[in-house]
Amino acid sequence: MAVDTMQQFVGRDQAYPSKRVAGERAADFAEIAARYAVPDAEDQAGRCSQCGVPYCTVHCPLHNHIPDWLRLTAEGRLREAYELSNATSSMPEICGRICPQDRLCEGNCVIEFAGHGAVTIGAVEKFITDTAWAEGWVEPLVPGPGRGQSVGVIGAGPAGLTTAEQLRLAGYEVHVYDRHDRAGGLLTYGIPGFKLEKPVVMRRVERLAAGGIVFHQGFAVGRDATLDQLRQRHDALLIATGVYRARAVDVAGDERDGVVEAIDYLTASNRKGFGDAVPAFDDGSLDARGRRVVVIGGGDTAMDCVRTAVRQGAASVTCLYRRDRANMPGSQREVANAEEEGVRFEWLAAPAEIAGDERVTDVRYRRMRLGAPDASGRRAPEPEPGEPLDAPADLVVRALGFDAEPLPQLWDAPGLDVSRWGTVLVDGKTLMTSLEGVFAAGDIVRGASLVVWAIRDGRDAAAAMHRWLRARAASERLAA
């Protein structure tokens, strides 16, 4: 190892790519951070101390070879860095943008523990693969020799796309079914452009389509086919449909005009970014322009909603969350970004009533305090005595998270076993559901989670399906 290239964390400060100033970035939906210039990426990668047991890798769900591609970057061997990074991740430039690095790789970097500030792993990862795309190093998807077996993937989010790619590489005919008109799942219609610009997602999808994966967009299982009908069409199936049943706020007035679901709100905004006609946006129902917006919730979805409202030109944006800042599920980095962009946070604030006539005018909320830990281990909020407070509102966005839809009922598939939360149950070893030849991956198995976990699950599911399909082909040959 070239010591003078690496281990520079004492003399070289941590430096993320510069963020655009809040006033400028709040006026558009472009990503807020610039990309490293080559020397800056090399310098930052060179801060890594090349740990023998790299905790960054241990805490990356994909177990990326982080120290190795950091070293290659620091040495200016960018193409090799890309190839290594691409070997373990199906979408490194996407993870580099939107992983909560503070909780994963960077949060476990030893340099962070030593007080020097973590190596900026995510920003380097994004830099490496963005460079690869720009330089033409990202190879087309070349399918392996045909196997004469076909696979159906239900859901074109990161889990489904990852499995589709891996199985196409292995030589299967792959069909992806998705109820949306564009592939990408929440990468396309959930996560806003200021975190993940859409061309970054679309170029991945286009590469998969060019590699022979057949996309059936606008195809909803449960409406356009039952699960059984798809089982007849394919040798194996993957369910990767994510979780979309919004949790209710459960207070009086929840049904008033002007109270909307986060996923509808974000999808409309993302569609406008694609230039689509969106009647519910164009008639003002899902547009925050000039409105006093209150977002209820404290997770990533709520952070995306408040920051979207700022960009749409809301008159004011307030976020109500029932725990305090330290106990919120959303990323601290995103809260800081939202604050810089002018969002007001009311911590320890739980809605008591959504007031108004037909249309909402106010959200009444109670001040909370944190009591003893609940079943999740987090301190449970309980109301403080006193009168409710008032947040004036013309648009209220419910962003309390998502549960699984009831797939066995929706898909006429009573044999598909699900947990009491509705998530699909899979065997821990085979990753198969209760139905022979039907596998599952991503949020629909874990519950609402992260893109990087969906990619990990998608890769694991592809490996498990490949094993099962090979065994099946072998037994059919024997029987013939």
| 124 makes contact with ligand SF4 (CB under 6 A) | no
Distance in angstroms (rounded) separating the CA atoms of residues 47 and 119? 6
- Interface with ligand FAD (CB under 6 A), residue from 32, 104, 167, 191: 191
Q: Using CB distances below 5 to 8 A depending on partner kind, what does residue 66 bind out of ligand FAD, ligand SF4, none?
A: ligand SF4
Stretch near ligand SF4 under the rule CB under 6 A, chosen from 106-114, 197-205, 302-310, 403-411: 106-114
Nearer to ligand SF4 among residue 244 and residue 453 (C-beta): 453
Binding mask 55-94 for ligand SF4 (x = CB under 6 A): xx---x-x-x-xx---------------------x-----
| 109 makes contact with ligand SF4 (CB under 6 A) | yes
Distance in angstroms (rounded) separating the CA atoms of residues 364 and 391? 6
| 368 makes contact with ligand FAD (CB under 6 A) | no
Within residues 425-454, the interface with ligand SF4 by CB under 6 A covers 452
Distance in angstroms (rounded) separating the CA atoms of residues 388 and 99? 37
Q: Using CB distances below 5 to 8 A depending on partner kind, what does residue 195 bind out of ligand SF4, ligand FAD, none?
A: ligand FAD
List Cβ neighbours of 124 (8 Å cut-off, separation of 6 or more). 36, 41, 44, 45, 69, 70, 73, 96
Distance in angstroms (rounded) separating the CA atoms of residues 313 and 64? 40
Sign of CA pseudo-dihedral 328, 289, 284, 255:
positive
Stretch near ligand SF4 under the rule CB under 6 A, chosen from 45-53, 296-304, 309-317, 367-375: 45-53
List Cβ neighbours of 454 (8 Å cut-off, separation of 6 or more). 157, 158, 159, 162, 240, 441, 442, 443
Within residues 419-478, the interface with ligand FAD by CB under 6 A covers 442-443, 449-452, 454
Stretch near ligand SF4 under the rule CB under 6 A, chosen from 26-34, 96-104, 344-352, 373-381: 96-104
Binding mask 18-37 for ligand FAD (x = CB under 6 A): --------------------
Distance in angstroms (rounded) separating the CA atoms of residues 164 and 150? 11
- Interface with ligand FAD (CB under 6 A), residue from 42, 93, 112, 304: 304
| 298 makes contact with ligand FAD (CB under 6 A) | no
Distance in angstroms (rounded) separating the CA atoms of residues 406 and 224? 17
Q: CA geometry: angle at 393 spanning 391 and 399, to 5°?
A: 90
The answer to whether the CB of 444 falls within 8 A of the CB of 405 is: no
H helices within 59-190, ranges in order?
66-74, 78-88, 92-98, 110-113, 121-135, 158-169, 186-189
Q: Using CB distances below 5 to 8 A depending on partner kind, what does residue 54 bind out of ligand FAD, ligand SF4, none?
A: ligand SF4
The answer to whether the CB of 123 falls within 8 A of the CB of 96 is: yes
> Which residues here bind ligand FAD, judged by CB under 6 A?
98-99, 154-160, 177-180, 185-186, 190-191, 195, 220-222, 240-242, 266, 300-301, 304, 442-443, 449-452, 454
> Which residues here bind ligand SF4, judged by CB under 6 A?
48-51, 54-56, 60, 62, 64, 66-67, 89, 95-96, 99, 101, 104-105, 109-111, 119, 121-122, 125, 452
